[in-house]
Amino acid sequence: MLRTGVHAPFLKGFSIMGSMSRAFVKEDGGEGGEPVRRQASGKPNYVTPEGLEALGARASALAWKRAELVSRQRPDEPRSLELRQAEADLEYYESQLKRAILVDNRGLDARDVRFGAVVSVAEEGGAAREYRIVGEDEADPASGKLNWSSPLAAALLGASPGAKVALPRKGGAAQIEVLSVSYPAK
């Protein structure tokens, strides 16, 4: 229990009666908030053929979703957060499609790591891992797809089998050996 005259700056704005600052209370009523707007990296938007197809499919799906949401919207009500989010996402994917630079290295007969390559690497004392160098919207590190401008992909670009590349990390660079490079036809 607080006594009168006790200095407790951490309780400023707090009432013993249990009220809380309005900053922490969700307001009831309409959907507030703003949609999350994705920002392009500003780097060239290189895409694989699969990445270009995926961008087109995503933009098409969002256009259909937007049309459906607009058709359910009553003229006298404000646009819902879901509709505004679909519009923001559609704007991003349409922009990425316009900026897309197709790089099709499928079946390429090259030994060095380039965009679209499947690269097998091993860290000192570690097991081999396989990565594919792809565009920013295709990237999914958990499934082995690396954004071409990520630190690991950037370190690998231009390297050939047998080369050791340095990957900057906290506490010093890790040495990674390129085991193989391929460009699958599909």
Summarised one tens digit per residue, pLDDT across range 20-68 is: 333 433 444 445 689 999 998 999 999 999 999 999 999 999 999 999 9
Residue 143 domain-assigned?
yes
Tokens of 37: 């707007």
For the cut 50, the answer to whether the pLDDT of residue 101 exceeds it is yes
> What is the mean pLDDT of the segment spanning 121-137?
92
Residue 127 domain-assigned?
yes
Residue 122 domain-assigned?
yes
Considering only CA atoms, which of 103, 111, 106 is closest in space to residue 178? Answer: 111
Q: How many domains does the chain have?
A: 2
C-beta of residue 182 within 8 angstroms of C-beta of residue 109: no
pLDDT at 169: 84
Residue 168 domain-assigned?
yes
Residue 3 domain-assigned?
no
pLDDT at 5: 43
Residues 122 and 178 in one domain: yes
* Alpha carbon 62 to its chain's center: 17
Domain that holds residue 141: 118-182
Residues 122 and 175 in one domain: yes
Residue 177 domain-assigned?
yes
